[in-house]
């Protein structure tokens, strides 16, 4: 079982633009010896926007809620809409709207300008808005890759049932949408540059279930709504679980060739387990309000980073060149 190292969540929320009220739970710029980029690699930043009610915006056409045009280079932004709708437009001509449960996966690569706002329909009607955005680092070999945009609908994601460990009948107690990565040989919807798991999890009935994650990955678990036990530790909404560093172990497995009958060895990643338990409120009550979680795991890139604001490179020289390019009109070229 992958042990918990620390539980984060004491950060005060703040506004990004005037459309995203978020709590920053991961920030690669912070110099915390117990929780910095080496503990979250390849995840650079994680903003969680808890459910927030927005009134209808009568000035949407002139002043939509969100963030105007700004640059990014050297990494990817991944945005998940949980409630409300997000409109996106970038300098490559990419644009679109993501709805509840959808994901926009933008590869900034060698450089891109983009903007993010509440969609016109949501802005005009108002309502509950909730989202997550993360920054995902790119390895040096792909820092200057061509910018691209993946629009991933909820219907594109494999949905896997979560079964109760404690019952022989294997009662379904939840589900997981595989945004990226693999779940028992089932591949998620997103294309990634390095091994990443991004699992959107919901528990809707009391019980316990076990997740398996590679022990070569850094692993984080965000609880968005509800409260549950993670490895028998109580975790509340808005908290981020940091697990201990990966052990990078592998296991030597044997297979039998069906043609020759001879055995062959191969090296496979060993896995760790994480137990999620959502207890009933009484002995007789088995149905509970849903708990929503997001699991992030990734194989560390292990390269140095040089970053400032919206740019993440490997060296100070590359970072300075990026600023020169941005100031001289050569950004993204």
Per-residue DSSP letter, 73? B
Encode 241-259 in three state secondary structure: EEECCCCCCEEEEEEECCC
Q: Which of 224, 177, 226 is nearest to 205 (CA)?
A: 226
Mark out the alpha helices in 200-265 (DSSP H runs): none
Distance of CA 307 to the CA centre of its chain: 20
pLDDT in the model for residue 58: 92
Mean pLDDT over all residues of the chain?
90
| Percent of the chain whose pLDDT exceeds 70 | 90
* DSSP per-residue codes, 286-316: -EEEEEEEEEEEE-------EEETTEEESSH
pLDDT in the model for residue 202: 97
Beta pairing class for 148-152 and 66-72: unpaired
For residue 330, being part of any structural domain is answered with: no
For residue 328, being part of any structural domain is answered with: no
* Domain of residue 172, CATH code: 2.60.120.10
- For residue 83, pLDDT over 50 is answered with yes
How much is the average pLDDT of 90-114? 93
Task: Give 158's pLDDT tier (boundaries 50, 70, 90).
Answer: very high
Cis geometry, peptide bond prior to residue 83 (ω within 30 degrees of 0): no
For residue 326, being part of any structural domain is answered with: no
Over the stretch 285-309, which tens digit does the pLDDT of each residue have? 555 689 999 999 999 999 999 999 9
Q: Which of 195, 229, 197 is nearest to 213 (CA)?
A: 197
How much is the average pLDDT of 196-207? 95
Task: Give 231's pLDDT tier (boundaries 50, 70, 90).
Answer: very high
pLDDT in the model for residue 104: 94
d(CA 323, CA 310): 10
- For residue 250, pLDDT over 70 is answered with no
Task: Give 93's pLDDT tier (boundaries 50, 70, 90).
Answer: confident
pLDDT in the model for residue 138: 98
Domain range for residue 88? 4-321
How much is the average pLDDT of 248-274? 53
Q: Could you give phi then psi for residue 190, rounded to 5 degrees? A: -85, 145
How much is the average pLDDT of 175-197? 95
For residue 309, being part of any structural domain is answered with: yes
Number of domains in the chain: 1
From 2-6, 230-234, 281-285, 323-327, the region with the lowest mean pLDDT: 281-285
| Percent of the chain whose pLDDT exceeds 90 | 80
- For residue 283, pLDDT over 70 is answered with no
CA distances from 291 to 205, 225, 276, 307 (A): 9, 5, 10, 35
Beta pairing class for 103-107 and 75-83: antiparallel
pLDDT in the model for residue 284: 46
For residue 327, being part of any structural domain is answered with: no
pTM of the model: 0.90
- For residue 260, pLDDT over 70 is answered with no
Residues 6+ away with beta carbon under 8 Å from 160: 175, 176, 178, 183, 184, 186
CA distances from 316 to 68, 227, 308, 320, 321 (A): 27, 43, 10, 6, 9
For residue 121, being part of any structural domain is answered with: yes
For residue 156, being part of any structural domain is answered with: yes
- For residue 258, pLDDT over 70 is answered with no
Q: Which of 151, 160, 85, 171 is nearest to 120 (CA)?
A: 85
pLDDT in the model for residue 256: 42
Residues 6+ away with beta carbon under 8 Å from 59: none
For residue 92, being part of any structural domain is answered with: yes
């Amino acid at each position: 079982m992958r042990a918990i190292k620390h539980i984060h969540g004491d950060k005060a929320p703040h506004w990004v633009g005037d459309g995203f009220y978020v709590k920053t739970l991961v920030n690669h710029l912070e110099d915390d010896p117990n929780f910095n980029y080496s503990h979250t690699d390849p995840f650079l930043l994680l903003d969680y926007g808890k459910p927030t009610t927005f009134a209808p915006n009568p000035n949407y056409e002139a002043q939509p809620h969100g963030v105007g045009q700004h640059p990014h280079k050297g990494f990817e932004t991944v945005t998940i809409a949980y409630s409300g709708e997000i409109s996106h437009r970038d300098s490559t001509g990419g644009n679109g709207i993501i709805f509840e449960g959808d994901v926009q996966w933008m590869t900034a690569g060698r450089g891109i300008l983009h903007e993010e706002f509440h969609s016109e329909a949501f802005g005009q009607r108002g309502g509950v808005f909730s989202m997550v955005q993360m920054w995902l680092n790119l390895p040096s070999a792909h820092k200057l890759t061509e910018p691209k945009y993946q629009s991933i609908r909820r219907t594109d994601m494999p949905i896997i049932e979560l079964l109760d460990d404690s019952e022989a009948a294997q009662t379904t107690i939840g589900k997981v949408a595989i945004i990226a990565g693999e779940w028992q040989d089932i591949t998620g919807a997103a294309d990634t540059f390095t091994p990443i798991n991004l699992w959107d999890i919901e528990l809707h009935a009391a019980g316990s279930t076990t997740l398996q994650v590679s022990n070569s990955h850094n692993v984080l678990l965000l609880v968005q709504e509800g409260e549950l036990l993670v490895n028998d530790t109580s975790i509340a909404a808005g908290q981020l679980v940091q697990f201990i560093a990966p052990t990078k172990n592998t296991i030597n497995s044997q297979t039998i060739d069906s043609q020759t009958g001879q055995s062959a060895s191969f090296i496979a990643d060993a896995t760790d387990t994480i137990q999620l338990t959502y207890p009933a409120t009484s002995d007789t009550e088995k149905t509970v309000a849903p708990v929503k979680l997001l699991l992030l795991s990734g194989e560390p890139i292990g390269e140095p980073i040089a970053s400032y604001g919206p740019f993440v490179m490997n060296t100070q020289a590359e970072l300075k060149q990026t600023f020169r390019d941005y100031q001289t009109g050569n950004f993204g070229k």
